[in-house]
Amino acid sequence: MTDIPLTITEAAEGLRAKRYSSVELTSAMLKRADSLDSQLGVYITRMDEPALTAAAQADAAFAAGVDQGPLQGIPLGIKDIIATKDAPTTAQSLILDRKWGEGIDAPVIARLRGAGAVIIGKTSTMEFAIGMPDASKPFPVPRNPWNPSTWPGGSSSGSGAGVAAGLFLGALGTDTGGSVRIPAAFCGISGLKQTYGRVPKAGCAPLGYSLDHIGPMTRSARDGAIMLQVMAGYDASDPYCADVSVPDYLAALTGSVAGLRIGVERANHLTWPGVLPEAVSAFEDAVAALASAGAETPEVVVPHYQQLRNANTLMLRAEASSYHLADLRVRFEEYGVHTSKAVSGGAFASSGDFVQAQRFRSLARQEISELMAPLDAMVMLTVGCGAPEVEGLNHASFAQWPVFTGPWNLLGLPAYAIPIGFTASGMPLSMQVVGKPFAEETVIRIADAFQRLTDFHLQLPPLVAAAV
């Protein structure tokens, strides 16, 4: 099989039209990984044998007339901080007990398997989803398929790079301060952080208890809707999971934004230090496309923006420090240098700091609720630059990048990162569609409508185009 489909939607149609089988599709993606992954570092653990077994089961179900839905027979990658019963979970760390999650599927994994998906492997991340690439540890240093000298973004690095490179058709990432949306932005794919509590996160090694999300990473917004449909819904194993009904996300994809009021946030994004002129231009073109399709695009200003960023960072590090404190005391040197620095820094946040951040969070939720009341959604840049070079990456440089994801973790609102163009050097650019609580269907509808007007999400990195 040489003509590998780009999207879940396309592959699902091909499987039902019998243009190829799930075994053929899975085998082709494993073969592509044989060719490309030595350059990209996508996988920590490949699951060839169980993946091919699951693909054969999907084919047998099709032959018996059983259709479990659009994920049946579709190869997916899983960020290696989420438990899978047939592969170890490492969190890309020497610290995590190798028996953690042993023999267990996290609820989201069980739901994906129940829909017939093929789990093809565990993907690289940053250590415990917070570090930076660390070549001193025995794990892959993930690379961006658009330019292997650059970073795919963290911490869902392997998931983002793997979707962009066509090593699988969708993936799970996690997002505590932007770790689904940043790699989606840098890799030119679509990444959704849904409302906090919409998807159960039991069976996922925690980073920030009140900030963590498990989200789908795919080429298209439509594919993200397909994955979210299966992932979403209450599960008692997660005390933070919301018992809220799940709508039909695909039914919401009308292809139209006519009559929607989409607030445009320029004030806190377009003039931020480090934002490239190409990012401003691409964003304005994206807004113009939505307006030409019938959306109203009033200008809005998010209040207390810098404080939103600061509060998310403080809470993330404080909650991470709480989880890791015992290991930090006795195994500090076994952590990667970037992770130990980031996590231990949270111990310097006082109880008063944490309480004040929580008080501010409550105020900000009310103010953002009032801001969004007359709107259907907002748009702003995801990241104002292209992917940086891997060499020289550190937390000091990261703090200077124009990254605009953290506030929406603090507030728990759904945010979809989608491609909008390229830098002068050919690296992807991205914007976010941010919605009201549990209004993912509106966010996905806007993202999908934009992707019907453009084809940025369907562009192949040169490395992959040469291998096709």
Q: What residues are labeled active site? A: 79, 155, 179
Closest CA to 220 of 186, 169, 173, 257: 169
Strands (E), 194-261: 213-218
Chain centroid to Cα 34, Å, comes to: 24
Judge contact between 387 and 186, C-beta under 8 A: yes
Judge contact between 417 and 184, C-beta under 8 A: yes
Signed CA dihedral, 154, 155, 157, 160: sign only: negative
Per-residue tokens: 361:
């969070």
Cβ-proximal residues to 211 (8 Å cutoff; 6+ apart), any chain: 176, 177, 196, 312, 315, 316, 319, 409, 410
List the beta bridge partners of residue 43: 123
The helix (H) or strand (E) run that includes residue 43 is strand 43-46
Cβ-proximal residues to 227 (8 Å cutoff; 6+ apart), any chain: 8, 71, 76, 112, 170, 216, 218
How far does the chain reach from its first CA to its final CA, in angstroms? 11
Greatest CA separation found in the chain?
62
Burial label for 180, CB within 10 Å (0-12, 13-18, 19+), is: buried
Q: Are strands 299-300 and 262-265 parallel, antiparallel or unpaired?
A: parallel
Per-residue tokens: 358:
């929580």
Signed CA dihedral, 166, 170, 174, 175: sign only: positive
Closest CA to 228 of 422, 445, 19: 445
Q: How many CB atoms lie under 10 A from the CB of residue 18?
A: 9
Instruction: List b or e across 300-333, with b for residues whose CB sees 16 or more CB atoms inside 10 angstroms.
Output: bebebbebbbbbbbbbbbbbbbbbbeebbeeeee
Judge contact between 418 and 457, C-beta under 8 A: yes
